[in-house]
Amino acid sequence: MFDKLTNQNKIKRSSFFASTGLAATGFFVAISLPFKLFGKNGISKNEKVTVQINPDAVSRKKIGETNA
Amino acid sequence: MKNSQLDYILRIRLPITIFIVITSFALTYYISRPERDGIGNTPEQPIQFSHKLHAGDMKMDCKYCHTGVDKTRHAMIPAVGTCMNCHTIARKDRPQIQLLKTYYDEGKLLPWKRVHKVPDYAYFNHSVHVNKGIDCTACHGEVTQMEIIGQVSSFTMGSCLDCHKNVHDKLPELKSINKGPNNCYACHR
Amino acid sequence: MPETKDEKVNQSVKADPNYWRSFEELHRDPKMIEQSHNEFQQSVTDEFDPKKLSSFSRRKFLALLGASAALAGTGCNDYPDRGEIIPYNIKPDEVTPGIANYYASTAACEHGCGILVRTREGRPIKIDGNPDHPVSKGKVCTQAQASILDLYNPERLKNPLKLGGSGLYVEISWENVDKEIIQILNSRGSREVAVVSGRIVSPTAKKLFDEFAQKYNAKIYPYELFNESLRNRAWQKSYGGGLYPQIKWDEAKIIVNLESDFLGSEGNRIENARLFAQGRDVNNINNFNRLYVIEGNMSLTGLNADYRLRLRPDAQHEFASALLKAVNGSMSELNSFSKKFDLSEAALRSLVKDLKQNSGKAIVYAGSTLSEEVHFTVNAINEALGSTSLYNRQAVELYPLISSGDLVSLINSMNSGRVAAVIHFDSNPVYHFPKDLGYESALKKVTAVISMTETNNESAALSNYILPINHPLESWGDNKTRAGFISSQQPVIAPLFNTRQKEAILLNWVNGDAKKYNDKIYHEYLMNNWQSSVFTPVSADSNFKQFWSNALHDGVVITNESSSSSLSFNSSGETSPKLVDLNSFVVALKPAYSTVDGRYADNGWLQELPHPVSKITWDNYAAISRLTADELGVKNNDVIDIKAGGESFSIPVFIQPGSADRTITIELGYGREKSGVVGSGVGFNAIVLMSGQSGTSPWIFKASVSKGTGSYELVTAQEHHVFDDERTKDAAQKRGIIREGTVEEYKKHPHFLHKEGHELFSIYGSQTNMEYTGLKWGMAIDLNKCLGCGDCVIACNSENNIPVVGKDQVAKGREMHWLRIDRYYSGSENEPKASTQPMLCQHCDHAPCENVCPVVATTHSPDGLNQMVYNRCVGTRYCSNNCPYKVRRFNFFNFRDHFKDGYQEANVFNLIYNPEVTVRSRGVMEKCSFCIQRIMEAREDAIEHNRTIVGSDVKTACQESCPTSAIKFGDVNDKESEFAKFRNHQLGYYVLEELNVRPNVTYIAKLRNTHSEEA
């Protein structure tokens, strides 16, 4: 059966690899794009939040100390 | 004479295979060792701070800057304000100091490259070590001689346990110290 | 015989061709013979030219591919890089990274507990009770502890919003919105301004409200869905004035409780529980109190009763009248009552006997939902018994709540256009007001509806302006609910978003100029008010600043106010009871254990906290008895239709052992529609049934009930077929998981629990027992004091970064609570006895989980703890399989990512995590660690101060939060300690001890205080 290959056309290897590469890229893009576009609305993960102490508040280091 | 196949395998293939296996293990071991134990990690810092100058020549105490080391788990890098305690006046004409000043004035984050790091799942506690009398140099080496701070000791779990188990050999100057804990919960919560 | 192909060919050419493949072969064609010597047929390899092949062989190509991948891998990876370490620019003085700061504040709810907030690196991570506060004494309820989650709610409103023309809300700046609203208020003309708020408990806020009311002709309408108004009105009728007092539960020996869940959801339940538990001390057995509970549905208080009688709530007036007559000498009415309602005559006789014999130390207490008439009768009973010595007349009401008459007149005003603006002052009237009053449609007639709220809610959705406000942890304030002290509230963190404190917004409007706002106006207002009203009368210092700083530090200031004077009872208000029709259905509405009145619907921890009685999570339900269920033809999860006051409502059913017949008990505070991702659509909103009620109590009324269509899955954290299956009935008692006795039995035979002393069987003898010579941690849980309230569970969740998993996962048993409260029933379905038992990792000496881990991720420490190492665990789950207590929880998902599409992954949510505890990811097993992070903190502290650590240095999170102090923790080997008394107590036992796993959690057996030796 190997003799058939000489007569018929062989696959163009370059175009095979190019098309499978393109297919794989397209596959992953198509999967991820809808999530990015119509993604999780309302809960923005990357919003910046600053934490600041209120300087007028009075703290204590141990649990059970009073001034009384 | 016809060499049998077994002869070929034993004389040629086996030594070559063994050689390749041993070489690859050894190479990997030695090449990856800095990654595993961190020795030699000396990254370039945004400001060329020299411990040799400050801690060595000027004999500043480690605890002046690294204030948390006997109070809490973290040793702490000093706030930029601590540097400015002296450097609002000291050498304020030097370019590195001026760079420092811009960080302070603009409130920009000063991104020191981290040198010593233990993974997050190990909760290392500085204060229990320091309060037992262990000197900073025992793990961090001769920092007072380092222009650029780098890591000189191994920070793998094995090295930690090695010292914990053999305290009296590693730290003979501490007379009344016990062996360190070697149970999981001491570090891994 | 194997022949090579060549031989075969040769053979076919040479030998006698019996077999031939072609004619050529047959005739031995010479061309064919020649061809057969070649490997390939002719012309196959004609085109093959080695020189034309690519110089790049397949082999080279693959080698190059592999090598370049490896190079790229190593090249792109900067593996020695350990990231950056960034210091402060200017270090705040208060903050030392690694050391916690505590701030005293108050939870600002109507019960007035003081809280202590633990902060790390400037942000709060845990709320506990303030030990210096006279009301909370170091303990605080589940809602206060869970409210920290609301601070970091990713769905908090971040900017003021104004309703735009297109029906959408647009962001507007504070200055503009203040200007517009001040304009609206100023141009009101002769119309009034209405402010709808919750109960007002802050004296400074009250002062502000008075100023606001004066300036803008405003009326304040404080409204609470559940309140004490019926009780207080009855009190005023009985005694002329004042408010219902606090009860000294610790001094009461006999407590008769009528439909009052005083340990679970009524009043200041933390204080009630703490005082009540002082009378359940096994080391003071002669002063054990006795609790009689007569209620319509099993409540938390009912779980802990010594005697419990089922009675439909609308019959309580009949009962109270009969009891009054019995206490005054005549038992006949009570006897006929017990026959009519099928109650145990013996129990009622002992009840009356106990009340009479313990006069001065006995109290009858009626629930807040009962009618005024019942309360009046109960006051009369207490007068007759001399229980007035148990009254502690401290209550202070700063601003009375509105009556239903006020509410109706408000809505009339709104409908006739006499209201210029309605301000929802952190309230949600669209959800809370009874639907038939038509508040929602009346709102449409008001030109300016302003909602001040933290998150979106039903009322905000119908507003013109939505103003985001500070969480109580970001707010200044004060709190006065009792005479004798005043609590202070301070912000433990600056506002995370562009929000303002609600009182500050109002103050700004009072001041009248939008531009003059600054962050400190309410702070200064508060300080001024304290200086004039608190400081001047009280202090010895002459320095207000010092006084103020001390007040904030302590969280409370003791003022010298005396309680009110003597009482004289006016018995003329006694009415005779309306007799109950036994064939009718009665609906009883209760506050939810978790969400209270719905305000905590968006709080994942509270929604997932199992209901203390039914262990149902994430929904409410109609609790009915087995008989009623059979009558209606429903099973668990079937839906029933309830018709009351002209409204109709459907809800699934749960058959609750101990529920009275024809009594439907439903918790309010569910069915929110506009709450947020977590809370919307959870449960069923039964507030609709409160419409059109004109009876004696808005929460107890008649209804008609029928079977509905369909069913709804209720998810419970425990099984609910306890009484059905003979095999599992009383399993807990048979297997020794629950061991109980009675007070009488214990008094006579103190060693009754261990009379069959047994040696634990071990085939290896004592050689394998590891000797723990040093400190060994152990825990003891006193089941006499454990009420089953769940404070410990929420505290553990808060301390240990436990994720919320959601209803679908709880249905599979995957809730991640390290500590759970098991509730067991025994007895009969109608008269069940309930036992609660907190179950956590027992840290067994011979732990069955440790042997089977294939990667040795769980080991035993020399101080007695079973260690769980997350980074080593690969998720085999063999350990959980072996655990007899099933306390190991597996992360089947990264629940932070899985629950509600990663709601828990928002940046602001991550601020809540305790930095000392690992946040676990998928595939890792976790369990209670006896708060190893607290043990390590105590060790660190001991080393820093050069002393040895002792058992009492460490308080676990659950121990710290238990209001009755049922959980004890300490060093097993310290024979002198308090803890050792419980470890070696004669009532102490271990669960499933016979498995020889040697658990380290001792349970002190529950003693029921009945009249006989049998339970």
- Reported as a single tens digit per residue, the pLDDT across C282-337 is 999 999 999 999 999 999 999 999 999 999 999 999 999 999 999 998 999 899 99
Q: What pLDDT shows up at residue A27?
A: 93
At residue C115, does pLDDT exceed 90? yes
Q: Which fold has domain C246-392?
A: Dimethylsulfoxide Reductase; domain 2 (3.40.228)
Q: Which residues contact residue C876 at a Cβ distance below 8 angstroms, ignoring those fewer than 6 apart?
A: C853, C854, C855
C421-437 average pLDDT score: 93
State the greatest distance between any 2 C-alpha atoms of chain B, in Å, as a whole number. 90
At residue B140, does pLDDT exceed 70? yes
Other beta carbons within 10 angstroms of residue C762's beta carbon come to 13
Q: Which residues contact residue C735 at a Cβ distance below 8 angstroms, ignoring those fewer than 6 apart?
A: C992
DSSP code of B52? I
Q: Which residues contact residue C95 at a Cβ distance below 8 angstroms, ignoring those fewer than 6 apart?
A: A53, C101, C121, C122
Q: Which tens digit of pLDDT belongs to each residue from C227-273? A: 999 999 999 999 988 889 999 999 999 999 999 999 999 989 999 99
10 Å CB burial of residue C116 (0-12, 13-18, 19+) is buried
Q: What pLDDT shows up at residue C793?
A: 96
**Residues in a beta bridge with C586:** C663, C702
At residue C558, does pLDDT exceed 70? yes
Three-state DSSP class for residue C667 = strand
User: Cα separation of C108 and C129, whole Å?
Assistant: 13
Q: Return the minimum-mean-pLDDT range out of B77-81, C10-14, C845-849.
A: C10-14
Distance from CA of C80 to the nearest CA of B (A): 6
Q: Which fold has domain C101-151?
A: Phosphorylase Kinase; domain 1 (3.30.200)
Tell me if A58 and C490 make a contact (CB, 8 A cut-off). Answer: yes
Q: What pLDDT shows up at residue C760?
A: 66
B74-99 average pLDDT score: 91
Q: Which tens digit of pLDDT belongs to each residue from C851-898? A: 999 999 999 999 999 999 999 999 999 999 999 999 999 999 999 888
Tell me if C932 and B103 make a contact (CB, 8 A cut-off). Answer: no
Q: What is the pTM of this model?
A: 0.88
Tell me if C553 and A67 make a contact (CB, 8 A cut-off). Answer: yes
At residue C1014, does pLDDT exceed 70? no
Residue pair C505/C469 in contact by the 8 Å Cβ criterion? yes
Mean pLDDT of chain C: 89
At residue C72, does pLDDT exceed 70? yes
User: Cα separation of C115 and C137, whole Å?
Assistant: 9
Q: Specify the length of chain B in residues.
A: 189
pLDDT-derived band of residue C480, with 50, 70 and 90 as boundaries?
A: very high
- What percent of chain B clears pLDDT 90, i.e. is strictly above it? 67
Q: What pLDDT shows up at residue C17?
A: 57
Three-state DSSP class for residue C928 = coil
Q: What pLDDT shows up at residue C764?
A: 57
All partners of chain C with 3 or more CB pairs under 8 angstroms: A, B
CA B73 to chain centre: 16
Name the pairing type of β-strands C715-716 and C616-617: antiparallel
Three-state DSSP class for residue B71 = coil
The CA-to-CA distance between both ends of chain B, in Å, stands at: 68
A37-41 average pLDDT score: 62
Q: What pLDDT shows up at residue C759?
A: 66
CA C142 to chain centre: 5
Three-state DSSP class for residue A31 = helix
The helix-helix angle for C332-340 and C345-357 (nearest 10°) equals: 140
Q: What pLDDT shows up at residue C195?
A: 96
CATH-assigned architecture of domain C161-223+402-523? 3-Layer(aba) Sandwich (3.40)
At residue C427, does pLDDT exceed 70? yes
Residue C447, both tokens:
């030109």
Q: Which residues contact residue C824 at a Cβ distance below 8 angstroms, ignoring those fewer than 6 apart?
A: C722, C732, C733, C737, C738, C834, C835, C836, C837
Q: What pLDDT shows up at residue C958?
A: 96
Burial C941-960 (b: 16+ CB within 10 A, else e): bbbeeeeebebebbbbbbbb
C722 or C617, greater pLDDT = C617
Residue pair C969/C930 in contact by the 8 Å Cβ criterion? yes
CA C894 to chain centre: 22
Return the amino acid letter for C700.
Answer: I
Distance from CA of A13 to the nearest CA of C (A): 12
User: Cα separation of B100 and C75, whole Å?
Assistant: 32
Please give the radius of gyration of chain C, using alpha carbons only, rounded to the nearest integer: 36
CATH-assigned architecture of domain C584-716? Beta Barrel (2.40)
Q: Choosing among B87, B185, B188, which should be mutated to test the C contact, i.e. which has the most C CBs within 10 A? A: B185
**Nearest CA among B67, B58, B45, B65 for reference residue B126:** B67
Is chain A touching chain B, with at least 3 CB–CB pairs below 8 Å?
Answer: no
Q: Which tens digit of pLDDT belongs to each residue from C174-230? A: 999 999 999 999 998 899 999 999 999 999 999 999 999 999 999 999 999 999 999
Q: From the list B38, B81, B186, which residue is nearest C91 (CB)? A: B81
User: Cα separation of C447 and C443, whole Å?
Assistant: 8
Judge whether B115 is closer than 8 Å to chain C, CB to CB. Answer: yes
Q: What pLDDT shows up at residue B2?
A: 58
Complex confidence, ipTM: 0.90
User: Cα separation of C619 and C639, whole Å?
Assistant: 13
Q: Which tens digit of pLDDT belongs to each residue from C917-933? A: 999 999 999 999 999 99
Q: Just give the CATH number of C731-1008.
A: 3.30.70.20
Q: Choosing among B74, B105, B188, B189, which should be mutated to test the C contact, i.e. which has the most C CBs within 10 A? A: B189
10 Å CB burial of residue C88 (0-12, 13-18, 19+) is middle
Q: What pLDDT shows up at residue B101?
A: 93
**Nearest CA among C626, C591, C597, C592 for reference residue C610:** C592
Give the count of Cβ contacts less than 8 A between chain A and C: 101
Judge whether C565 is closer than 8 Å to chain A, CB to CB. Answer: no
Q: What pLDDT shows up at residue B69?
A: 92
Q: Choosing among B41, B184, B187, which should be mutated to test the C contact, i.e. which has the most C CBs within 10 A? A: B184
User: Cα separation of C930 and C932, whole Å?
Assistant: 6
Q: What pLDDT shows up at residue C25?
A: 76
Which residue ranges make up each domain of chain B?
Answer: 1-37
Tell me if C907 and A53 make a contact (CB, 8 A cut-off). Answer: no
Residue C783, both tokens:
């089941």
Q: Which residues contact residue C370 at a Cβ distance below 8 angstroms, ignoring those fewer than 6 apart?
A: C230, C258, C259, C260, C313, C316, C317, C697, C700
Residue pair B133/B44 in contact by the 8 Å Cβ criterion? no
pLDDT-derived band of residue C7, with 50, 70 and 90 as boundaries?
A: low
Provide the H-helix boundaries in C713-772.
731-734, 743-748
Q: Which residues contact residue C521 at a Cβ distance below 8 angstroms, ignoring those fewer than 6 apart?
A: C504, C507, C508, C511
Name the pairing type of β-strands C448-453 and C290-295: unpaired
Residue pair C946/C932 in contact by the 8 Å Cβ criterion? no
Q: Return the minimum-mean-pLDDT range out of C500-509, C717-726, C771-780.
A: C717-726
- What percent of chain C clears pLDDT 90, i.e. is strictly above it? 69
All partners of chain A with 3 or more CB pairs under 8 angstroms: C
Residue pair C713/C699 in contact by the 8 Å Cβ criterion? no
Q: Return the minimum-mean-pLDDT range out of B37-41, B144-148, C817-821.
A: B37-41
CA C92 to chain centre: 34
The helix-helix angle for C174-186 and C502-511 (nearest 10°) equals: 60
DSSP C155-207: TS--S-EEE-TTS-EEE--HHHHHHHHHHHHHT-TT-EEEEEES----HHHHH
Provide the H-helix boundaries in C423-578.
429-432, 439-444, 502-511, 521-530, 536-538, 544-554
Three-state DSSP class for residue B72 = coil
Q: What are phi and psi of C128, to 5 degrees?
A: -125, 175
Tell me if C907 and A48 make a contact (CB, 8 A cut-off). Answer: yes
Q: What pLDDT shows up at residue C436?
A: 86
Residue pair C710/C641 in contact by the 8 Å Cβ criterion? no
Q: From the list C82, C85, C936, which residue is nearest B41 (CB)? A: C82
Return the amino acid letter for C123.
Answer: R
